[in-house]
Amino acid sequence: MKRYSTTKQKIDKSGIRVYSTTYYPEILVSDSDTFIYPKDGERLDTLAYTYYNDVSLWWVIAKANGIRGKVALSADEIIRIPGNVVNIVEKFKNLNKTG
């Protein structure tokens, strides 16, 4: 799933393509979640590939853990890997439906 595939686009007055706001669903703790200590310097995209076989789902892990503005993780922080990723992606698509 491409990150902006469901984001609305339009052309502004100067002819530049702009995107509307992307909304992310709340990701509640679930019994299917996995909690890990990442290797020092491990990245969200590599975790997404390991657990979801899809690097583009890095945002699920970031949103679930309140991570903003960083990609590399440290070994001293516990990271929650949501297990119900299919439901999360469906909620994401519903929040950002195009036209």
For 48-82, how does the pLDDT look when each residue is reduced to its tens digit (9 = 90+)?
999 999 999 999 999 999 999 887 999 999 999 99
Q: Within 13 Å and on the Cβ side, how many CA atoms surround 36?
A: 17
Number of domains composing the chain? 1
Domain that holds residue 45: 25-95
pLDDT of residue 92: 93
3-state helix, strand, coil in the chain (%, to 5): 30, 15, 55
Tell me, yes or no, whether 68 lies in a domain.
Answer: yes
Mean pLDDT of 38-46: 95
- pTM over cut 0.75: yes
Tell me, yes or no, whether 86 lies in a domain.
Answer: yes
pLDDT of residue 4: 62
